[in-house]
Amino acid sequence: MSNAITQAQYYKGFPMIKSGGILCVGDPADGAVLILTTLTTTQLMGEEIPELIFLQIQNTDKNSSDCGTIIKQTDKTGLYNALDIGLIWLSRELKK
């Protein structure tokens, strides 16, 4: 895996930026982002696949005294499972 920051791509309408084993989903200007951190990987057909993912919803509202705090966190097995629950949490947080 490369540690270089890549150009933003979109998943279900949310921008995503990846740097090493960390994936940031959402726009910080919206008030919250989803941070996914790969804790363990497994080899599959010569490729490194994320296995255990730690996910957090982080407050990014600069007008709030809670800016930078973690709103919710958990870990999930598999990137799809982590993105699935993480995007649900992020969508709910952005509706507040």
Q: For 44-74, write each residue's pLDDT tens digit.
A: 999 999 999 999 999 998 887 777 789 999 9
Q: What pLDDT is attached to residue 7?
A: 65
Instruction: Report the share of the chain in percent with pLDDT over 70.
Output: 93
Half-sphere exposure of 36 (CA within 13 A, CB side): 27
- Which residues are CB-contacts of 38 (< 8 A; sequence separation ≥ 6)? 21, 22, 23, 50, 51, 52, 53
CB 26 within 8 A of CB 17: no
- Confidence class for position 6, pLDDT limits 50, 70, 90: low
Sheet containing strand 47-59, strands side by side: 9-11, 14-19, 22-25, 32-44, 47-59, 70-77
Gap between the terminal Cα atoms of the chain: 36
